[in-house]
Amino acid sequence: MADQLENQQEEKGEKEPLKLNRTVEEKVIENEWTKTPKPFNLFSPSQVGYCKRQLYNRKHSLTSVDRYVKGILHAGTVNHFWLEHHLPELIEDRAIRTEARVKNKIEVPNHDFDIYVSGYADAVDTEGFVYDHKFTGNIEYSMESPKEKDRMQVLMYIDSLDDVHTGQLEYVQRQGRFQKGKIVEHTIEWDEEDFQAMVDKLIEVCAALKDRKGTELEEINPFSKCDCFYCKNEELNDRAKQAVQNASGDKQ
């Protein structure tokens, strides 16, 4: 045995053991968000509910995200992976499929572009319900009603998926332990008027993004802040701040 261990030591290379958690921290959680390579008229379902200003921000990656929020997003991703693989075997009274593919083309009259939405819904069952699972750091904001951004996302699912008539939006708060009473559900019914208002907003944002050429001027958001949570808490990244500062200097 001593000879075997000695041989193993001699055969070891120069490499050290991996630092798994540090790798996740540096390359996933703390990774800087860059400009999206997606076409100007292609959106993920999770984007469509933002206001015009925040949609533009996300298309250009003009805002910074603090470590706390990044941690919640990563924890939510891990939670979704678990649901994707284990949820179907937990349901007894109907069939359910997770990570349901979402592809939608919304024709835009009187413009030279259409709008495309591509992504995945968390789950769809055989009774016509689509489910969206939200992992949040504070469930109090969603107790009385769902966040408007999330409701718009579910409306997009309903429009995009066949044999779906109603959405179920679920919020769960997890802060290191699985607590009772930290789950909230909201049923989302189809609303044609609100859906069309969302489409009109996407059209306006696409028109602003359509001819972008990568200039610094495009780093300045043409849409004003509204009273939504994301505008009230907006924090521009260094690149966007520099663009605003340079533009202000040019005007003086």
* pLDDT over threshold 90, residue 130: yes
Give the whole-angstrom CA distance, residue 198 versus residue 229.
17
pLDDT in tens, 164-204: 999 999 998 866 555 666 889 999 999 999 999 999 999 99
pTM, full prediction: 0.83
Half-sphere exposure at residue 129, Cβ-oriented, CA atoms within 13 angstroms:
14
Q: What percent of the chain has pLDDT over 70?
A: 85
Q: Which of 1.10.1740, 2.60.40, 3.90.320, 3.90.870 is the CATH number of 42-251?
A: 3.90.320
Q: Specify the pLDDT at position 35.
A: 53
Give the integer Cα–Cα distance in Å for 100 and 164.
12
What is the three-class DSSP state of 161?
coil
Helices (H) and strands (E) in the chain, counts: 8, 6
Cα separations in angstroms, 106 against 207, 236, 247: 15, 31, 35
Average pLDDT over residues 121-131: 97
Which of 4-8, 67-71, 93-97, 118-122 comes out lowest in average pLDDT?
Answer: 4-8
> Which one has a higher pLDDT value, 171 or 212?
171
Half-sphere exposure of 197 (CA within 13 A, CB side): 11
Element of type H or E holding 23:
helix 20-24
User: Could you tell me the residue ranges of all domains in the chain?
Assistant: 42-251
- Both tokens of residue 37? 């390579």
